[in-house]
Structure 1
Amino acid sequence: MKSLYISEVKKELAKYAECTDERITEKDLAPLPEPVQKFFRHGGYLGKVKMSQAEVQWAEVQFKRSPTTKWMNLTCSQFNSVPEPTRIVYMKSTIGGLFPFEGRDKYQDGQGNMLIKLLKFIPVANAKGKEIDVSALVTVLAECFLVPTYALQDYIAWTAIDSKTAKATITYHNTKVSGLFYFNDNGEFTHFVTDDRYYSEKGTEYKKMKWSAVAGNYLEKNGIRMPTYFKAIWHTEKGDYEYFKGTINAVRPLKIIELR
């Protein structure tokens, strides 16, 4: 599973191997809604290089497989590519402290896929199809301010709502999803809400469910203020189901020679 992750990341890195030093300018920000512009300015992104391929370095990650199960610790490696919206994540942990399992969650080439294996060889899940494509693209959108160059791409359309809210719609490979981004007085992105993500209790039947992502604990690193805490929540008929939470050490450019 780790080899699969590496091969998929290498495929994306090879597409855009040429480095660019293009920087974020006021011209890039001009078409954006007020709170999104404020995020870039107050976050220190003006004048910084447009990061097109990045590694999200997760420090601590916890996950709940259902509303009634306990939190489990995960080790995560995450890669994002901007020219074509791409997100690939490798996860590993143990069930009950005894049985190792690995997962690879991705949106690549316009398709989503969640692959999980137990004891390295036993398939547990291999979710794919329209609902997975939609849900995986929503995740790319929700996390776009981790790699803010996403927000400048033509495949994301922005609509101004008010001084602290902006609507974003991402369209790729005939899939379109939308959501609302909320910001605080400091221009920091605080949470994202959408009705375009699919929920499944057992992995067989899917229905659209309100879903949100929350960001916080902004810290300044190398002149940029970035969120270092992120969590995801399903808003079900039975109540809120928070199933993912993690802390981020850094988001940095990734080159093929560094991948192992």
Structure 2
Amino acid sequence: MAKGEVVINKVNFSHLSGLPEPVQRYFKHVLKDGQSVINQIELTQHGSLRTSTDSNKWLPFKAIQLVLPNSKSFIWHASIKLFPAVYISVEDSLQSGIGSGKVRLFNIFPVASDSNHKKLNSGALHRYLAEAVWFPTALLPESGVTWTGIDDSSALASLSVKELTVELEFKFNDNNEVEAVYTEGRYGQFDGGYQKRPWQGHFKDYHEINGMKVPSYGEVGWWIDGKLELVWKGEVSKTIVNE
């Protein structure tokens, strides 16, 4: 086991006492007491995205994402169609607190790459924390997430990897599902450099798989001049879980 990894075997509802009430209700709704935690999960996704908030063009994509919650790691491989018969391959990852991004034309010719600096690493960890709604045992306190109550329908989640800490506000609906996540500042690329901007994601269409309830649909975007500019809309069409 690598340093810093947290390994738990079973969900234990008795460990939820002391958590904010909406968080307790969420876990009791989407998980089952005693079920195995997720050690590895593979998500098959499809949808559309924009390369920036300034672009009006939505591009179709297909992707496979592998997540290892014990080490707070993921790797996302996507194929994005630019034009008929022209596509780019994108690989985004987070491993041991290090974020990385690579873009290739036809999965062969390098177009862009970036790796291992604080702003990129922070943005990747924000993404991991938000996307944990698709593998919710990773949001348990035993998995390293600290929860602070805000009100009866929201709570703040904090996650640290090495010297890096990120926070997201989780908003819960009347069905005790996560319907939105929000932060005042996540790093993204704007005007040729990294800037911290308000960032938000929405989730819906929950269904049950492997004894847990997870959303089928998600979308994320940046708040620009008082308007949420979506840049990613996707559905999970297949989930493979290794408990």
TM-based fold match above 0.5: yes
Tell me the residue number matched to 1:155: 144
Match of residue 120, structure 2, among 107, 120, 132? 132
Percent of aligned pairs sharing the same letter: 26
Identify which range, 92-101 or 108-117, moves more after superposition.
Answer: 92-101
Tell me the residue number matched to 1:65: 51
8 A Cα contact 1:21 1:50, kept in partner: yes
Tell me the residue number matched to 2:21: 34
8 A Cα contact 2:73 2:96, kept in partner: yes
Q: Deviations over 1:140-174 (max 9, x none)?
A: 11112211121123532111112211101111121
Whole-angstrom CA distance in 2 between matches of 1:106 and 1:28:
31
Whole-angstrom CA distance in 2 between matches of 1:154 and 1:219:
23
Aligned length, in residue pairs: 236
Whole-angstrom CA distance in 1 between matches of 2:31 and 2:218:
20
Q: Structure 1 residues 72, 179: CA separation in 2 closer, same or farther (over 3 Å shift)?
A: same
- State the one-letter code of the partner of 1:219: H
Whole-angstrom CA distance in 1 between matches of 2:20 and 2:239:
24
8 A Cα contact 1:158 1:169, kept in partner: yes
Q: Deviations over 1:179-207 (max 9, x none)?
A: 100001111100000123112235x3111
Tell me the residue number matched to 1:5: none
Q: Structure 1 residues 254, 124: CA separation in 2 closer, same or farther (over 3 Å shift)?
A: farther
Tell me the residue number matched to 1:189: 178
Q: Secondary structure in 1 aligned to 2:28?
A: helix
Whole-angstrom CA distance in 2 between matches of 1:250 and 1:35:
28
Tell me the residue number matched to 2:97: 110
Question: Does residue 220 of structure 2 align to residue 232 of structure 1?
Answer: yes
Cα RMSD for the two superposed structures: 2.1
Q: Deviations over 1:95-150 (max 9, x none)?
A: 11232210100111111011101133322221222111000000011112211121
TM-score, normalised to structure 1's length? Answer: 0.83
Whole-angstrom CA distance in 2 between matches of 1:249 and 1:225:
14
Unaligned runs of 5+ in 2: none
Unaligned runs of 5+ in 1: 1-13, 256-260
TM-score, normalised to structure 2's length? Answer: 0.89
